[in-house]
Chains A and B, each alone.
Chain A
Amino acid sequence: MSKRLSTGGRLIDRDTSLRFTFNGTHLRGHQGDTLASALMANGRTLMGRSFKYHRPRGVVTSGAEEPNALFGLGKGDRFEPNQRATTAELFDGATTETQNHWPSLETDVGAVNASLSRFLPAGFYYKTFLWPRSFWKHVYEPFIRRSAGLGKAPDKDARDPDDYEHFHIHTDVLIVGGGVAGLAAAKSASATGAEVLLVEQTSHWGGRAPVDGAEIDGMPADAWIEKTVAELEAMENVRLRTRVMGSGIYDHGYALAYERIADHAPEGGRPRHRLWRIRARRIVTATGAIERPIAFAGNDLPGIMLASAVRDYVVNHAVAPGDRTVVVCNNDDAYRTALVLDDAGLKVAAVVDARPQGGGTLARTVKDRGIRVLQGKAIAKAKGTKTGVTAVGICEFTGTGDVTETIACDCVAMSGGWSPVVHLWSHAGGKLTWDETEAQFRPDPDRAPRNEDGEAMVHAVGAANGHFGTAEGLADAWDAGARAGGGTASGAAPAAAARDEAAMMPVWLMPANAKIGLRRKAWLDFQNDVKVSDVALAAQEGFTSVEHTKRYTTLGMATDQGKLSNINGLAILAQALDQEIPAVGTTTFRPPYTPISLAAIAGEARGDLFQPVRRTPMHQWHEDNGAVFEPVGHWRRPYCFRRDGERTEEAVRREIDRTRHGLGMLDASTLGKIIVKGPDAGRFVDMLYTNMMSSLKVGACRYGLMCSENGFLMDDGVVARLSDDTFLCHTTTGGAERIHAHMEEWLQTEWWDWQVWTANVTEQWAQVAVVGPHARKVLEKLGGIDVSKEALPFMRWTEGTLAGLPARIFRISFSGELSFEVGVPANRGRALWDALLEAGEEFGITPYGTEALHVMRAEKGFIMIGDETDGTVIPQDLGLHWAISKKKEDYIGKRAQARSHMADPDRWQLVGLETTDGSVLDDGAYAIADGTNANGQRNTQGRVTSTYHSPTLGRGIAMGLVLHGTDRMGEEIDFTAEGGATRRARIVSPVFYDPEGERQNV
C-alpha cells in the first residue's frame, strides 16, 4: 500500500498541512505535493477508469505524460475536467474528483466492457455500429455518448470568473526546460551577451538530476542548481520563469508558452493563465526525455508505474508507491529506482532485467546490497485486484510466457528505456533520426527547423537531444547555448562524471514471443486502451501507415500525443509489418505539448472585449433611448428605437411613417468617407467607379458603383467633388476600411506613377441624415447655411456653419424624401444630434434606425450592398446600366464584365416582387421553376434579395433576381415559403413608391 515516508521529500514542506477533498472525502497533504503524491500519501492508488474498458487505473508517471490520473478539479464556475494529478499542485481547499466511471470509482458498471474486451478490438467503433441503420439514434449513439469522452464538460451555466491574458515578448534566445541542461544552456547563452528567456513547466528548477543523484562541478545537483539559478537571476540579460510550459514552436522563431499563474493559488486576484507569445531568434529545447513503459500482460494495473516515477515520488515527496516493489527493465537507469527504494528502507522484491547479460556498475551495486536480480527474465503477467497489483509471474524473456515463478508485490517499477521529448523540435519541421544504440528517435541536427535567415532555429540539448548522461548532456547544452546566443562557448561546461551504464536492449513486448492471450492484455496506450493485439490487428487489416494506425486504433490520441505510447506502438507496428522502426516513422507532433486552456488562447478577448465594438459619437444617446442595436461590421447601429411598450416592428413602422410624413433623422456617421486628392484624382476615380466621375462638377454629388477586378459589384456610394483635384468618396458602412485599402492597393501596386493621395476620414465626421417633408424647415431653423432649393439643389453639397457648428451638407436621398446629410466634426456630433432634436421637436422629429432605412430604400427600389449583392452579382444584373459608362476605355471590372458568362442573357435580373395576397415573402426564398435538377431538387428561376412589409404601401414588397425578369413584368411566379408552402408574387418594377421622384425634388 502506498504511504508517506517518515523522512525525506525534497519538495514538500512537512510543516504545512493542506486540506483537500477527493470524491468528497477529506484528506490532507503538504505544500509541495502534487495531487498524485498527496493521494498516494493517503493510500489512494486507484485514480480513475480507462476510456474504453473502464478498467481501474492508477497513476503511471510523475509528470506531464500522465495518461491515467485525470481529474475534475475545482467546483462550480471553476470546475475543470481532465487535469493531470501529476502536474496539479496541491493547495489548501482543493476539490478533486475522479472521472470516467459510473456510479462510483470503486464500482463502475461500465467495467463490464472489460470482460468483453476481446469483442472491442481496434476499429470497433467503425465495425460494430455500422448496421442496422435504425439502431443509430436509440442504441448506438446514446451508448457511445455515454461511454466516450473523458471528463465531463463544465456545467452549461458556469461562467469562468478568472482573468486570462497574453504577453508578447521578443528575445534573442528562448530556452524551454529548466533541468540542468536548460540551466547550463542559459548560462552559456547569456555569457555571449544575448538576451535569454528560460521557462520551466514545473514549479521547481533542475529536472531529474537531483532525483537521479547527479553531482555537478563537485557538488550535489541540488546545490549546483541553487547556485546556478542565483547566478542567472542576477544577470541583466536573463529572465527565468517557472510554471511556464513551452507549448509550441512555429515559423520564424515564434513560440507559445503557457503560464499557470494561479492554478495552485486561486482567487488571489491574479490572472489564472497567461499565454506567452514569444519571438525568439533562436530556441533551445531542453525538454528532457520520457521513460517508456513495458508492454506485458496486466501492465495497466494500479501500482504499476514508470521506474523514474517511483523514485520521483520517494525522493521528491517522500511517498512510497508500495511496500514491496518489483523493478522490471531493459536498461541500467532503472537500477537507480531499486537503490532509492532500498535507501528509503522499502523492500525491492526483485529486479527483472530482460538483458541476458544484465547491467553494469549500477546493477552490481544493487546486487551488492543483496537485492535479487534476475537476468534474461521477463514479467509474463501481472495479477491483481481493482485496487492494484498483487503479484507478477516471471518467465524467460525470449519465451512465450510460461510462468516459472510468482513474486508477490504491490508495486512494479518498469522501464523500457527513454525517449527524448522531440515534440517542440518537430513542431516547426525539425526531422528525427533513429538511434540504434538507445533505440530512440532523436533530433537530426542536419535537419533542424530553419529560421527566416535560413539558419537552424532550434537546438535540442541534453536528454532531449538523446544525451542521457549528465556530463554528456551538460556539455551538449553548454555548447548549443552559446551557439544559440550567437557566440562560442567560453570556459568549460559544468563537469559531471561520465555516464557509466551498460547498453540497453530494446524491449517492445514482454516476453518477446508472448502468446496471444498475453498480447491481448498488454497495454501500449493506457488512456485509450490500445493493446499490442490491437496494433497487430490494425496492421493485419491493412493499416500500414503509422498515421492511419494511430487513428484506427486511437493509439497516442487525446492528451498523450506521442508521449508515453509512441515508440512502443511504432515498434509493434514495425514488427507486425516486418519493417525497421525508422521505415515506419513517427506520427506528427503537433502543438500544444500539453493541453492548454481555451481561455488562455482567448486572452482578454472575452465578454465585452470578445470583439471590438465601434461606437459613433451619438452611441450613448442611442443606448439611453431604447435603441435595439444590430451589428454592421464592428459597428453597432440602432435597428430601431423602441418607445415604452412598443414592439420592434411597431417601432419600425412608426419611424417610417413619421419620416415619410413629417421628419426623421438617422445617425449616418458609420458611412465611409475617403478623400482622394491629386492631379490624377479624376483619372483614378474613373478607374474605381463604373461610371464617369471625372466629369463631376465642383459642388456636385454623383452616385457611383465600385466593382472588383472580377467584375462583381463590391461597394456603392455618393461621390462629392470638393475641389478641382479633390473628391470625397462615400462608402457603405462596412466598406470604409476595405475600400480605402482597395484604393491604396491600386495606387501603390499598379498605378504608382499617378499623383494621388488618399485619406480615410470616416471617423473625423459625424453625419446625420435629416429626412422628410420638414427637413428643410428644421435646417433653416438651425440657421447659418442656405439650404433652399435654389441654393442647394438635389445632388449638390455645400459647407458653412450650421447652428454654430462647422458643417458640410449633402443634398442626397436614400429614402426618396427631401433629405440632407449633415456632417460635422465627430466631437460635435452629439451637439448636432441634440440641436436637431431640439429644433425638430415642433415637427415631431423622429430618430430612425437601419430597418426603417432599409424599408424606405426598398420602397424606392434602391439596392443595398450585401442584400442585392453577394459577391456574384454584377451591376448589369441589377439594371444599373445607367451607372456604367460606355465611354470609358477602362475601369476596374470592365474586362471581366465582358466575359461570356457575365454577358449571358440568362443571368437572373433584378425585379420588384409583389405578393398577390399582400403578405411578405420569406427572406432568401427561391422562385420555383418546373421540374427537378439532377439531385432531385426543385428547379429554381430566381431568389428574393430583400423583403419587407411596407407600411407606406400597406403590403409586402420585395426585390429579387429572376430569370429574364425584366421581360416578364406582370407575370406571377411561386416562391418557397417556410414549412414547404409556396407564396405567389407578381413581377413588377422595383420602384414601388414615387417613381417620378417628386418627393425628393422639392
Chain B
Amino acid sequence: MFDATSHPARPALEGATFDGLVRVEAAGLTGMITLRGDVDAIGMPVADVTGLDVPDTLGITGDGVRALAWMSPDEMMLFCDYAEAEELAASLAGSLEGEHALVVNVSDARAAFRLSGPEHRLREVLAKLTPADVRPEALPPGMIRRSRLAQVAGAFWLDDAGDLRVICFRSVADYVWALLTGAARPGSEVDHFRDVRM
C-alpha cells in the first residue's frame, strides 16, 4: 500500500553537480514564501517573525539560514528551510491578520542553484545569460537582481559565503541547469571580469 512517508518531497533536480569554470549545484529543497503587502504595513511583523532586517530596494538580508529578499515595492520573498516553510507561512499569515497582505508558501514552485568558485568566474557565467549589469559595483553582495536567464525569468544574488545563488521556476529547472553548466563549460573562459582575490 502507498506510504507517503516513503515518498518524500523531491525537487526538480536532485543532487546534480557540475564542475567547470565554476561548480554548479542544484540546491535541492528550499523553502520560499511570497509576501505581498505594503512594506509599511508588513515590514515590522515580518521582521518580528523571521528575525531578519527588512531589505531595502533590491536588497536581500539574511542570517545564514533564512534570507529576506526585496522583489518589488509590495513583495518580498522569504527563503528558509523547506521543512519549516508551511508553519512559517502560517505564522506570518497569523501575524499579518487584519493587514491587507498575502502570504503564500511557494517552496515547490521554483528551483534553486548554487554556484561556487572565483567571483570573477561567477560573474562571467551570469554575463553569458543575462542582460543585467553584473559588474561588482552593479551587483554587490546583499543585492538581488531579477532578470532574464537566456529565455526565462530568473533571480540571482551573491550570498554571504560568496556563492552565487540562482532561482528560476521549477518547470524550467532542466533548461536553466543546461544554461548554467553550458556557460561554465571549460574552454569558454572570457576573462573579462578582474580576478580580485589577493
Contacts and interface: CB of A to CB of B under 8 A. Distances in A.
Interface of A: 163, 165-170, 195, 236, 239, 268-271, 274, 277, 279, 603-605, 608-609, 611-617, 634-635, 675, 677-679, 755, 757-759, 761-766, 782, 803-806, 825-828, 830-831, 834-835, 838-839
Interface in B144-169: 150-152, 169
Contacts of A762: 109
A279 B130 CA distance: 12
B7 A835 contact: yes
Interface stretch (B44-52, B55-63, B112-120, B180-188): B180-188
A609 B108 contact: no
A346 B105 CA distance: 82
25 contacts: A165-B182, A167-B190, A170-B135, A195-B135, A239-B192, A270-B188, A604-B179, A609-B178, A609-B182, A613-B175, A615-B12, A757-B102, A761-B106, A763-B109, A764-B108, A803-B4, A804-B3, A804-B4, A806-B86, A825-B107, A825-B108, A826-B108, A828-B10, A834-B2, A834-B7
Interface in B85-119: 86, 100-102, 104-110
Interface in B16-69: 29, 34, 36-37
A782 B1 CA distance: 9
Interface of B is mostly: loop
B9 A635 contact: no
B59 to A, nearest CB: 20
Contacts of B127: 167-169
A370 B133 CA distance: 61
A677 B151 CA distance: 30
Q: A236, A804, A827: which has the most chain B beta carbons within 10 Å?
A: A827
Interface string B109-141: 110000000000000000111111111001000
A232 to B, nearest CB: 14
A279 B135 CA distance: 12
Interface of A is mostly: mixed
B174 A613 contact: yes
B192 A169 contact: yes
A611 B185 CA distance: 20
Contacts of B171: 614-616, 634-635, 763
Contacts of A608: 178
Contacts of A827: 9-11, 29, 107-108
Given A615-B171, A759-B34, A759-B104, A168 B130 contact: yes
B104 A675 contact: yes
B2 A163 contact: no
B196 to A, nearest CB: 10
B183 A165 contact: yes
Contacts of B150: 603-605, 609, 612
A721 to B, nearest CB: 15
Contacts of A614: 169, 171-172
Given A279-B133, A604-B179, 19 more contacts: A163-B188, A168-B132, A604-B128, A612-B151, A614-B172, A615-B171, A634-B171, A634-B172, A675-B102, A677-B102, A757-B101, A758-B102, A759-B104, A761-B109, A763-B170, A764-B108, A804-B4, A827-B11, A828-B10
Contacts of B110: 763
Q: B110, B130, B138, B188: which has the most chain A beta carbons within 10 Å?
A: B188
Contact of B128 (A166, A757, A782, A834): A166
A764 B194 contact: no
Given A167-B128, A268-B187, A757-B37, A236 B194 contact: yes
Contacts of A604: 128-129, 150, 179, 182-183
Contacts of B10: 617, 827-828, 830-831
Nearest to A805: B4
A44 B34 CA distance: 70
Contacts of B173: 615
Would you list the 3 A-B pairs with minimal beta carbon distance, nearest first?
Answer: A804-B4, A831-B7, A614-B171
A758 to B, nearest CB: 8
A763 B7 contact: no
B5 A804 contact: yes
B36 A759 contact: yes
Contacts of B194: 236
B185 A163 contact: yes
Contacts of B190: 167, 274
A828 B7 contact: yes
A828 B9 CA distance: 5
Contact of A835 (B2, B130, B192): B2
A182 B86 CA distance: 59
A679 B172 contact: no
A831 B5 CA distance: 10
B151 A271 contact: no
Nearest to B9: A827
A678 B100 contact: yes
Given A609-B150, A763-B169, A805-B4, A826 B100 contact: no
Contacts of B170: 617, 763, 826
Nearest to A259: B190
Given A170-B138, A271-B188, A803 B2 contact: yes
Contacts of A603: 150
Contacts of B105: 764
